[in-house]
């Protein structure tokens, strides 16, 4: 894909181009990785880090995600920091513990001013690409927990400024009830974005 071409095509619109991953080192022999300065020069404004598939298949940890966040902040790119529990965690009643650990680890040592601009995406792993979706109550509960933790770490003003997205089988028929929740600020859309009609319906849903 050509990020620069996408940036050019969306110039003058409300659409901004994002990346799905990055590497924390600016240069060196890291074959296959994408350096943050490259993304910056291409016009990227946001970058997803810590997606559950990156954790599952590429061994990413809260610590490496933290390094990526620092690299993105340094170059003025806003990170979309992902967190979420496995099905076994939810069934064992450990969702809150998992989310707390991930958020603290990913944000460790990050300046409050940078965190204010960040996006956090809650993506229950058991709902990604499975057709299952967290109920609006389940999603709101975790989003409220994240907001509360941000308040504890950085204060209410910053916690209120951080956008917390929900990701996990968001579809045209559930986006409205999810977006109606007080602590859900947006959606991290995956599979539905592959179908233009579905993605358009999600983006243009009526409140």
- Measured between its terminal Cα atoms, the distance across the chain in Å is 33
CA–CA distances in Å: residue 174 to residues 93, 94, 112, 194: 25, 25, 33, 17
SS (H, E, C) 143-187: HHHHHHHHHHHHCHHHHHHCEEEECCCCCCCCHHHHHCCCCCCEE
Among candidate residues 60, 85, 123, 143, the one labeled active-site is 123
Half-sphere exposure of 189 (CA within 13 A, CB side): 20
Among candidate residues 51, 60, 85, 143, the one labeled active-site is 51
Residues 6+ apart with CB under 8 A from 98: 84, 85, 86, 89
Please classify residue 136 by burial: count the beta carbons closer than 10 Å to its beta carbon, then call 0-12 exposed, 13-18 middle and 19+ buried.
middle
123 tagged catalytic: yes
51 tagged catalytic: yes
3-state secondary structure of 119: strand
3-state secondary structure of 18: strand
Q: Which residues are catalytic?
A: 51, 123
């Amino acid at each position: 894909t050509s990020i620069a071409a996408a940036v050019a095509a969306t110039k003058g619109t409300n659409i901004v181009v994002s990346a799905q991953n990055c590497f924390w080192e600016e240069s060196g022999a890291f074959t296959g990785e994408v350096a943050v300065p490259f993304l910056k020069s291409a016009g990227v404004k946001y970058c997803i880090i810590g997606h559950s598939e990156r954790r599952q298949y590429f061994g990413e940890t809260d610590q490496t995600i933290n390094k990526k966040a620092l690299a993105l902040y340094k170059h003025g790119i806003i990170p979309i920091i992902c967190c979420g529990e496995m099905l076994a965690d939810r069934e064992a009643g450990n969702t809150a513990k998992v989310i707390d650990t991930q958020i603290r680890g990913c944000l460790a040592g990050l300046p409050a001013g940078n965190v204010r601009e960040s996006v956090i995406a809650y993506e229950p792993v058991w709902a990604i690409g499975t057709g299952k979706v967290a109920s609006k109550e389940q999603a709101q509960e975790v989003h409220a927990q994240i907001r509360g933790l941000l308040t504890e770490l950085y204060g209410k003003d910053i916690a209120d400024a951080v956008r917390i997205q929900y990701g996990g089988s968001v579809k045209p028929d559930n986006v409205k009830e999810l977006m109606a929740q007080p602590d859900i600020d947006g959606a991290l859309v995956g599979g539905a974005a592959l179908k233009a009609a579905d993605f358009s319906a999600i983006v243009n849903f009526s409140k």
